Chain A
């Protein structure tokens, strides 16, 4: 190695000596954190599948098992709150594995001084969301940290569910010719949250799309056995989910940019803030890779479901440019839809 690299080249981002905010972005830094810190020490075949949930065979019963933590700010936002989000997030991670969600646990980390009324509202919202999703919160834990050691309220939820007979969903299943379907408009949650934070200086009516997706998944699996895999594109957005699938399956993808559903208000906010909606978080959307011959039938079933009314086929899995997601622009040209290193950053001008 020459001296240029060793002396003056900046450190590769993955090998930082401290945790950065970007390690929680869902981009390359998150992937590096997983592989360099966790996967090497926790290694086992179930974890190695790198899906959103573990699928465990226990006495002939296939159980889906997953966990997620919620650190959203503000705690209450248009279209939801941290409580309902904590239920939906885990329900959706189970559903993406083809499972019917059954039971949740919850852990609260509370900051000293949090208003009791706030906590009550959050708990009530969680209970409502669980009831609506048909799951029960059956165990939990509470810890309180000193003022200044937490940000009001963090929630963890863990869930178990039963994997449907015959369902075998995995990113590794994607193959050339498959179609890419999204269940609706992208970027709603992330922009709803952003517009309620201080200092952004714009007002919007955009609502978070936070919703439990398991009934939509049920409808899809009832319709066809030709679904290869599903993801709920939360942090990191659609672009990160598709890049993960492409890398996992060793395939390329080509998206038709014009077909990707994005609300006008979300597009407008993204233009103003210098963000790309394909990297903005969703909490009530899924992306599915399905066999070409089943795509129209699955899409038709999704369109009938309240959470899939704006579903669209947005692209194709390809053998070419393996590992890369490409978008065909309205001009007929192509561009890469890359995995970002960390969070998106607004540009200077």
Chain B
């Protein structure tokens, strides 16, 4: 298929792998941040093509996974109300809350719908003036502009029956937290291509400078990732700590200014809780006061809902690259995608679920080399 097969060419992949093998002289621990990239690496088995010196660990960039349990509980609570049409991206529906997921709410009579874009929810609000339409605004910087746009549009049209349940998180604060852990093993990062499409990569230049760690912004196809890994290994071997851009077909240094402008008109940076990690200061977005009338948490009075995660889960260690999913004692036994105990098992972009779904036949060979 044009514009896809070019990035999945096995011959070019071999060339890149050979080049990585030629360059590498010592062990390096690299982390891809984005769950979409984790998914590609596992789906195509890219990690098993790499020389043993290059260890990949998987970061916290799965939006479904890091959405806190209590946000899912809030969603369940709101979606259960008879006057509500609850609209969400598809993969949030099966995420278990403390007692139920959104599919179960739907089965019990809740009006829960899947959308590909928040603008579909705005349209539902227009067409159903007697119902409250709530969109579950989840994700990283990637989905934030479209989610902001929906609220901006609703306000402009004076739609009083539209609101969003916001659970937006940001990549750079999570990387900072990771790099400041004394036990940190990560020496280089594959930066998230779609986040940088919106945000540009100047934030990562600050991180590279401050922590002397190299970054390569990469895409999501197998060759994007292999090329990104090759560029990272080259930087590490040459002692450089810069930000390089592999994903030039989508990312520029300044990103998408128009999208950001709209986003910051609607959202402001705030503290956020991450499932599996806990609260990180200034690590997400919330609605600005001018848009408080569109905040589903306030409208439905669920601000105080809280939930605790199972302490047995080693998600925090997995998300920091200190453990591999298969090092977890409950991986694939008491913790599976049907019955996840922690964040990374929740969505197929989460490291544990990606291992389980694509690679559990190789369990013996997948342990963290640093352990």
Does A43 belong to the interface (CB within 8 Å)? no
Does B81 belong to the interface (CB within 8 Å)? no
Q: How far is the CA of A334 from the CA of B89 in the complex (A)?
A: 29
The answer to whether A324 touches B361, judged by C-beta atoms less than 8 angstroms apart, is yes
Candidates A8, A12, A19, A201; contact of B116 at CB < 8 Å:
A201
Q: How far is the CA of A8 from the CA of B93 in the complex (A)?
A: 18
Chain B, interface residues (CB within 8 Å), range = 35 or more
The answer to whether A21 touches B106, judged by C-beta atoms less than 8 angstroms apart, is yes
Known: A347-B36, A348-B91. A342 touches B103 (CB 8 A): yes
Smallest CB gap from A264: residue in B: B1
Smallest CB gap from A320: residue in B: B361
Does B75 belong to the interface (CB within 8 Å)? no
Known: A21-B107, A329-B45, A331-B46. A348 touches B139 (CB 8 A): yes
Does B339 belong to the interface (CB within 8 Å)? yes
Binds A, one of B170-178, B239-247, B306-314, B319-327: B306-314
The answer to whether A342 touches B94, judged by C-beta atoms less than 8 angstroms apart, is yes
Tell me the residues in window 1-47 of chain A with beta carbons closer than 8 Å to chain B beta carbons: 2, 4-5, 8-14, 16, 18-22, 28
The answer to whether B45 touches A19, judged by C-beta atoms less than 8 angstroms apart, is no
Binary interface encoding of chain B residues 103-133 relative to chain A, with 1 for a CB under 8 A from any of its CBs, else 0: 1101110000011100010000000000000
The answer to whether B334 touches A5, judged by C-beta atoms less than 8 angstroms apart, is yes
Known: A324-B361, A341-B94. A331 touches B10 (CB 8 A): yes
The answer to whether B339 touches A348, judged by C-beta atoms less than 8 angstroms apart, is no
Binary interface encoding of chain A residues 309-347 relative to chain B, with 1 for a CB under 8 A from any of its CBs, else 0: 000000000000100101001111111101001100111
In the assembled complex, the CB of A236 is this many whole angstroms from the nearest CB of chain B, namely: 15
Smallest CB gap from B337: residue in A: A341
Does B4 belong to the interface (CB within 8 Å)? yes
- CB-defined A-B contacts under 8 Å, sample of 24: A4-B310, A4-B341, A8-B98, A11-B99, A14-B338, A18-B104, A20-B106, A21-B103, A326-B361, A329-B43, A329-B45, A333-B46, A333-B48, A333-B49, A335-B42, A335-B358, A336-B357, A338-B358, A346-B89, A347-B39, A347-B349, A348-B64, A348-B92, A348-B139
Identify the 6 closest CB pairs spanning chains A and B, nearest first. Answer: A333-B45, A10-B96, A345-B90, A346-B90, A335-B358, A18-B107
Known interface pairs A334-B362, A347-B347; 12 further A-B residue pairs with C-beta atoms within 8 A, sorted by A's residue number: A2-B312, A9-B341, A16-B104, A18-B104, A20-B107, A201-B116, A329-B43, A331-B10, A338-B358, A342-B94, A348-B89, A349-B194
What is A's interface to B at a CB cutoff of 8 Å?
2, 4-5, 8-14, 16, 18-22, 28, 199-201, 264, 267-268, 271, 273-274, 321, 324, 326, 329-336, 338, 341-342, 345-349
